Amino acid sequence: MKIAVLGAGSWGTALGQVLNENGHDVLLWHLEQDFVDEISKSHTHPFLPGVNLSNTLQFTASLDDISDYGEVLVSAVPSQVVRVVLDKFPSGWKKSVVSVSKGIENNTGMRMSQVILETLHLTTEEIVILSGPSHAEEVSQKFPTTVVAACADINHARDVQKLFSNDYFRVYSGNDVIGVEIGGAAKNIIALAAGICHGLGYGDNTMAALVTRGLEEIIRLGTTLGAERATFSGLSGMGDLIVTAFSPHSRNRQVGERIGKGEKLSYILTGMEMVAEGVETTRSIHGLTQNNNIEMPICEQIYKVLFENISPRQAILKLMGRELVDEHPV
């Protein structure tokens, strides 16, 4: 099968390599022609050190080429530019889309499947979400990895499951699109918080409390928006939260750690070559909590640290000083 990958960052490229090794012809798109020329010549990626890419992986900087290519599109660009890029696709474009971007769109509060639905005028059955604990660096090195493919049409999710699965990349299937997308997006906020705690020098007690209560906030958000609670015990919930909160590969954790050590967010973002999705997702989810009256105190304090300039220590004192309540209200 011919498969187009929109976005040749580390994640898009790692997935392109998986698909290529599974016997598929893969064309990847990147915005910059210089990048395309270099990666086509070297067969290496600057964000996947030590990995030799397949000689048969193809790259392009042409959106016309990528929109024309193949039977399936993998959408792997950062969440805040998904709409901008897909708006440039030709009118009437119709193919299956596998979305692997983890975020919530600013201003609209839309999940990525909703953005794709609105821009490409597809049906929900034509959009599959692929998500779970999966650092690109480790997938590209063939470390055993498991993720989940979710679609309103479970049979389409199973088709994508078969497309990606191999002896080091195992895909489960499901139909809770909302839960899988919310888990993949919201965990990045908790990862920012985990980095902040690490940067402040806090230990295991703090991290355990943060991840446990952070997961409860993610569940509260997801179930309010229509997700199934069980999804958050799975790969796209607890699984993705663990890997993102604890791993040194996590860009969101890295940003949080630098904030915890006293650096300003604007300075950190200026020097970053890759996107930390959690920063803008914090803004988006703050809007969702306000509009839907959802209590998410950790996410609220991370919003204030990022965008209202309160100090991390102030935020933690605020959280620890909240009214005492039952852990599981009756």
Active site residues: 187
Write b or e for each residue in 133-165: b if 16 or more Cβ atoms lie within 10 A of its Cβ, otherwise e.
Answer: bbbbbbbbeeeebbbbbbbbeeebbbbbbebbb
Dist CA 128 CA 153 (whole Å): 9
| Cβ pair 169, 19 in contact under 8 A | no
Edge to edge, what strands does the sheet with 58-60 contain?
A: 58-60, 25-29, 2-6, 72-75, 96-99, 127-131, 145-150, 169-174
Q: Which two tokens stand for residue 329?
A: 């209200």
Q: Which residues, at least 6 apart from 113, have a Cβ–Cβ distance to it below 8 Å? A: 99, 124, 127, 129, 177, 181
The token duo for 267 is: 């300075």
Sign of CA dihedral 104, 108, 110, 113: negative
CA distance 173 to 314: 42
Residue 170: Cβ within 10 Å count: 16
* H, E, C per residue of 121-184: CCCHHHEEEEECCCCHHHHHCCCCEEEEEECCCHHHHHHHHHHHCCCCEEEEEECCHHHHHHHH
The answer to whether 105 touches 82, Cβ cutoff 8 Å, is yes
Q: How many Å apart are CA 272 and CA 153, to the nearest integer? A: 38
Closest by CA position to 6, among listed 119, 115, 85: 85
